[in-house]
Amino acid sequence: MNTGTPLVEMKDVSIAFGGVKAVDHVSIELYPGEVVGLLGHNGAGKSTLIKMLSGAYKMDSGQILINGKEARITTPRDARDHNIETIYQTLALADNLDAASNLFLGRELTTRLGFVDDATMEAETRKIMARLNPNFKKLKEPVSALSGGQRQSVAIARAVYFNAQILIMDEPTAALGVHETAMVAELIQELKKQGLGIFLISHDTREMMDLCDRVAVMKNGKMVGSERVEDVTEDDILSMIILGKNPKAAA
Amino acid sequence: MSDTSTATDAPAARRSFWQALDLDTRLLGMIGAFVLVALVFNVLTDGRFLTPRNIFNLTIQTVSVAIMATGMVFVIVTRHIDLSVGALLATCTAVMAMTQTSFLPNVLGLELGHPMIPWITMLVGLVTGAIIGGFQGYLIGYQAIPAFIVTLGGLLIWRNVAWHLTDGQTIGPLNETYMLLGGINGTLGVFWSWALGLAAAVAAAVGLMSARRTKVSHGFPVKPLWAEGAIIAIVVAAILGFVAILNAYAVPERVVARDFERWGCDAAEGCTAAYGIPYSVLLLIAVAIIMTVIAQRTRLGRYIFATGGNPDAAELSGVNTKLLTVKIFAMVGMLCALGGIVASARLGYHTNDIGVLDELRVIAAAVIGGTALSGGIGTIYGAIFGALIMQSLQSGMAMVGVDAPYQNIVVGLVLVLAVWIDIQYRKLTGAK
């Protein structure tokens, strides 16, 4: 693993809000079939880093390479064009619309006349939901009427349906119960086998040790370091998070 | 992931009957409210309220506000507000009145009554409305000035731009063809009203059946055939009933005698005619259909509702919400121009106070029609019903002889009551 061209390479990226350097000259790469966990305190810059990749923020400086080629990502649409899909912590669902409308939001299927094809979209939603969450039946109702787990599965379906190569998951299990968390873990393994690269953000160090191949730790907008999970202990990671130092580099 | 939805087996046969029909309860509620208002006034006026003549008048009085209210739905759905519609209407009618009475004849040399005058005038009006509305939308979307402020400024600015343009003068008489859109001046007549009504009834039946076929082809559940048939029957009856009522309003003998050839007679004696569907009502129906198609069948509409439900989610899904705001306000601007055409054509001239307080009528119509100010929810037909209910209240009270202050008090109470009922309804049904 970790040879050949990385799927994503973020080189020396920075962004500042006002005077605060939220992300300060950070570099990170992601290979096909790899799950990279981003760890750090609140405000360490994990979400901000990832939002530059998903097009929600525009970076001030730096470079993003997708499959070795420089990519200009300034809007969410650019990111989608590069097969980057994001599951946001807030899920980013329009509560007043049904599951199908949310799944295809921004990428509606249309009839030959250019009108949105609700029937086909609903049928496609039915298909993907049958795979992800067989109990999902409330296709016609606004997603505000769904449970947390159901809403999450709509957000995941949206990312998976469009053949993402790169998946960003921001706290995918924060709002979920034990059973649902296990399903997300299973899904991550399955997608990994299909050769997707996945960025995972979480606060749960133990969960990250289980799900990820590699963890990258950030503190105060800077990258502390990234390590393969088999090479470090949970304590090593905790000290990276808290002290902002890589114990292996110091050793 | 778990799903806690419980299968509801309706035990009572009565409930399954209503479920089979699968009616829009909100639409039913609105129709119910309208029928109630109409019946109460009909009793209070000794049957004068529900005469073909009064219903005809009611429809033509509603058109201008209803046209603008359809646009207000999109504005409110995206969590904005537009306080400038009445003033914008005035600027548009001022521009259009000047275009047809002085600019085209004097500057371009088209003599008064030239057949192109009304069409050029309307185009000028629509473009004016779209530009002004679009500019307000730009200030709201791209410059992030709250819509309330931009359009409150617009209310003052455009009302007085109209005043400035016309020096406060009443401008008229307007072009004859242009005035056909005013209501009673231009109607389809009995034959074409029936023809159009029948065509619409057939189209509605075919449309409902083809929607059913699409559902079946995707394996979705459909209503039982008898329920579908019942709904088609109701819709067809409503369309034809509406046409029948408008066709029952006979043209007064004096009016026929004045110009019997227009009513298709060889002589004034024994000539009877009825008005039928006014062109302005056709315009409203066309606007309603187009706006409903936009809302339900286009990406633009999908994005409008998504943005209203969750602006961040829409943006993260690649929706350009800033441009969307410009489009919505430009659309409202054009609808103000259309409303202005109908309003000024009905009067026969542009006056300085045309459309005063229309912004409040339009907002009230949209809100009575179930558009939620918190965004994301609203329907075009609701807004039109809202406008109709408001107009019914006002003209009904005028017929009964309620004093002007009490009229406004009642309208105000109804507005608040309608929103309260809507909130209670949403609580009850568990919708947001």
Q: Which of B277, B292, B313 is the last residue of a domain?
A: B277
Q: Is B377 on the interface with A (CB under 8 A)?
A: yes
Per-residue pLDDT tens over the stretch A118-161: 888 998 999 888 888 778 888 888 998 888 888 888 988 988 89
In a domain, B54, yes or no: yes
Phi-psi region of B274 (alpha: psi -120 to 50; beta: other; left: phi over 0): beta
* Number of domain units in chain B: 2
> Rounded to whole angstroms, how far apart are CA atoms B100 and A10?
62
- A51 neighbors A57 (Cβ within 8 angstroms): yes
Low-confidence ranges of chain B (pLDDT < 50): 1-12, 432
The answer to whether the CB atoms of A101 and B377 lie below 8 A apart is no
* Same domain assignment for residues B341 and B411: yes
Contacts of B293 (CB under 8 A, 6+ apart): A115, B301
* Same domain assignment for residues B234 and B153: no
In a domain, B378, yes or no: yes
Contacts of A235 (CB under 8 A, 6+ apart): none
Q: Which residue has the higher pLDDT, A107 or B17?
A: A107
Considering only the beta carbons, identify the residue of B3, B299, B377 that sits closest to A96.
Answer: B377
Tokens of B8: 């509801």
pLDDT of A184 > 60? The answer is yes
Residue A175 C-alpha, separation from nearest chain B C-alpha, in angstroms: 12
Q: Which amino acid is present at A199?
A: F
* C-alpha Rg value of chain B to the nearest Å: 23
Q: With 0.90 as the threshold, say if the pTM is over it.
A: no
Provide the residue ranges of all domains of chain A, joining segments of one domain with +.
Answer: 1-83+165-251, 95-163
> Rounded to whole angstroms, how far apart are CA atoms A42 and A65?
27
B87 SS3 class: helix
Q: Which amino acid is present at B302?
A: R
Considering only the beta carbons, identify the residue of B301, B317, B432 that sits closest to A76.
Answer: B317
pLDDT of A207 > 80? The answer is yes
* Same domain assignment for residues B288 and B419: yes
Q: How many CA atoms lie within 13 A of B33 on its CB side?
A: 24
A110 SS3 class: strand
ipTM of the complex: 0.87
- B67 neighbors B89 (Cβ within 8 angstroms): no
From residue B382, alpha-carbon distances to B30, B235, B335, B375 in Å are 7, 16, 17, 15
> Rounded to whole angstroms, how far apart are CA atoms B248 and B192?
14
A58-72, A178-192, B21-35, B402-416, range with the lowest pLDDT: B21-35
Instruction: Write down the pLDDT at residue B309.
Output: 92
- B225 neighbors B208 (Cβ within 8 angstroms): no
Q: Which of B223, B254, B277 is the last residue of a domain?
A: B277
Considering only the beta carbons, identify the residue of A94, A107, A137 that sits closest to B313.
Answer: A94
Strand partners, B274: B250
* Same domain assignment for residues B140 and B217: no
A86-100, A164-178, B380-394, range with the lowest pLDDT: A164-178
- B194 neighbors B201 (Cβ within 8 angstroms): no
Closest alpha carbon to B279 in B192, B199, B198, B187:
B187
The answer to whether the CB atoms of A123 and B314 lie below 8 A apart is no
* Same domain assignment for residues B31 and B135: yes
Instruction: Write down the pLDDT at residue B151.
Output: 95
The average pLDDT across A209-214 equals: 90
What share of chain A has pLDDT > 70, as a percent?
97
Instruction: Write down the pLDDT at residue B13.
Output: 54
* Same domain assignment for residues B333 and B365: yes
Q: What CATH number is associated with residue B58? A: 1.10.3470
* Same domain assignment for residues B317 and B399: yes
Which residues 47-76 in chain A show a CB within 8 A of chain B? 54, 56, 75-76
The answer to whether the CB atoms of B432 and A95 lie below 8 A apart is yes
* Same domain assignment for residues B163 and B28: yes
* Same domain assignment for residues B273 and B294: no
Instruction: Write down the pLDDT at residue B10.
Output: 38
Fold classified for A1-83+165-251: Rossmann fold (3.40.50)
* C-alpha Rg value of chain A to the nearest Å: 18
Q: Which domain holds residue B208?
A: 188-277
> For an interface test with B, which of A88, A105, A122 has the most B Cβ atoms less than 10 Å from its Cβ?
A105
B317 SS3 class: coil
Q: Provide long-range contacts, Cβ within 8 A and 24+ apart, for A16-19.
A: A16/A60
Helix boundaries (H) for B46-181: 52-77, 85-98, 117-141, 147-166, 176-179
Q: Is B15 on the interface with A (CB under 8 A)?
A: no
Searching chain A, which residue's CA lies closest to the CA of residue B321? A106
* Same domain assignment for residues B159 and B242: no
> Rounded to whole angstroms, how far apart are CA atoms A140 and B390?
32
Instruction: Write down the pLDDT at residue A2.
Output: 58
* Same domain assignment for residues B93 and B70: yes
Q: Which of B259, B277, B295 is the last residue of a domain?
A: B277
